[in-house]
Amino acid sequence: MAQGGVGLGTIARANGITFGTAVNSGKLGDAAYAAQLVAEAQLLVPEWEAKWAALQPRPGSFDFGPLGIIASFAQAHGKQLRGHALVWHAAMPPWLAEGLAEGAARARSLLAAHMDGVLPATRPAIRDWDVVNEAIANPEGSPFTARTPSQGDLRDTPWLRALGPGYIEEAFRLARERDRTLRLTYNDYGLEGDSPWAEEKRQRTLRLLRRLVGAQCPLDALGLQAHLLMDEPFRPEPFAAFLRSVRELGLAVLVTELDVREAQQLPPDLPSRDAAVAERVRQVIGTALDAGCRTVLTWGLSDKDSWLAQDRDVMRKDGQVHRGLPLDEAGGRKPMWQALATAFGTRRG
Q: Which of 40, 47, 169, 200 binds ligand G3I (CB under 6 A)?
A: 47
CB 186 within 8 A of CB 223: yes
Q: Could you tell me the smallest distance in angstroms from the CB atom of residue 143 to ligand G3I?
A: 14
Site membership for ligand G3I, residue 200 (CB under 6 A): no
Phi-psi region of 233 (alpha: psi -120 to 50; beta: other; left: phi over 0): beta
Q: Which of 26, 60, 271, 332 binds ligand G3I (CB under 6 A)?
A: 26
Give strand pairing partners of 297. 20
Closest separation between CB of residue 112 and ligand G3I, Å? 23
Check residue 36 for interaction with ligand G3I (CB under 6 A).
no
Grouping H, G, I as helix, E, B as strand and the rest as coil, residue 229 is strand
Please give the residues from 67 up to 106 whose contact with ligand G3I meets the rule CB under 6 A: 90-91
Residues 239-258 that bind ligand G3I (CB under 6 A): 257
By CB under 6 A, what part of segment 217-236 binds ligand G3I?
A: 225
Residue selected from 48, 62, 64, 144 as contacting ligand G3I according to rule CB under 6 A: 48
Quick note: the x/- pattern for ligand G3I over 303-322, rule CB under 6 A, is ----x---------------
Direct distance between the N- and C-terminal alpha carbons of the chain, in angstroms, rounded to an integer: 35
From 23, 33, 43, 51, residue interacting with ligand G3I (rule: CB under 6 A): 51
SS3 29: coil
- What per-residue string of b and e applies to 22-38 under the rule 16 or more CB within 10 Å gives b? bbbbebeeeeebbebbb
Please tell me the distance from the alpha carbon of residue 166 to that of residue 148, in angstroms, as a whole number. 19
Which segments of 41-164 does DSSP mark as H helices, in order? Answer: 52-55, 65-76, 94-100, 104-122, 158-163
Residue nearest to ligand G3I (CB): 26
Residues 109-168 close enough to bind ligand G3I by CB under 6 A: none
- Residues within the interface to ligand G3I (CB under 6 A): 24, 26, 47-48, 51, 54, 90-91, 225, 257, 307
